[in-house]
Amino acid sequence: MSSEAGRAGLGESRPAGSVLAGRVKAWDLPTRLFKWSLVLLVLNAWLTNQRGDAGITWHIWNGYAVLVLLVFRLLWGVFGSSTARFATWVTWPWTALRYGLDLLRGRGRPYLSHNPLGGWMIIILLLAVGSQALAGLFTVDNNGLYGGPFANLDFGDPTPLQRALSRYHHLAFNILLALVALHVGVNLFYQFVKKDPVIGAMITGKKPVEPFADQAEMRPGRALWLRALLCLAAAAAIVLGGVKLAGGSLP
């Protein structure tokens, strides 16, 4: 991990049109679609759970979709555009701490991608969503009638591990909500107090030109959409194929 990833990008030349417009590319469309799709899937997971047994099939497929998106994001963090890659914004913890101290002193520098603290927030959110989705694979209800694809490991008489994962799957949603609230609150602070359009950039894909600390402008690389589709197909194969190979049952 590098705290100075892309720092040399400050001296890169930008396309003339982007400089004249005063805006540069910050996020590619696959990254933005991933973010907002994950938001909708987390919301749908809650809605389908509220329907009880009537929504269990949709809830399970929703969980698969979440896992596919998360695996896609892992792959996209390696093969995606310059701002989507983990090497750009995953830093050492002390780098994030130093950035936080600079922020408190009013010396925090703007970042085109995630800043060091924001990068760790994203990692924590991905881990929280991922752990809950993985726990859902083993979840069984109190009666042992419905469950995830690996509930058949001891179907009808849940093991202590299955019960523990089931409790975590249900209770951890409150932890996830707290993390989401923190994430939204910080983004609102950056958007409206620090005038750093982090929310707008995740919608439009662009930011105003600034002396960014990481890179001057997002570089999509060659065949962006082909790479994105291949990553998505690989993610679906890994998740669904992995479940079947491990003996799990699809709805």
Residue 155 dihedral angles phi and psi, to the nearest 5°:
-65, 135
Q: What is the DSSP letter of 147?
A: B
What's the fold here for domain 24-245? Answer: Fumarate Reductase Cytochrome B subunit (1.20.950)
Helices and strands of the chain, counted as H and E runs: 9, 2
Q: What angle do helix axes 93-104 and 116-136 make, rounded to 10 degrees?
A: 130
pLDDT tens across the length of the chain (251 residues):
544 444 333 333 344 344 445 999 999 999 999 999 999 999 999 898 887 766 688 988 999 999 999 999 999 999 999 999 999 999 999 999 999 999 899 888 899 999 999 999 999 999 999 999 999 998 876 555 566 788 766 545 667 887 888 889 888 888 998 999 999 999 999 999 989 999 999 999 999 999 999 999 999 999 999 999 999 999 999 999 999 898 887 77
Instruction: Give residue for tokens 């083993």.
Output: 138
Q: Can you tell me which residue has the tokens 């060659």? A: 222
The structure tokens 């497929």 sit at 61
The sign one gets for the Cα dihedral 82, 224, 38, 189 is positive
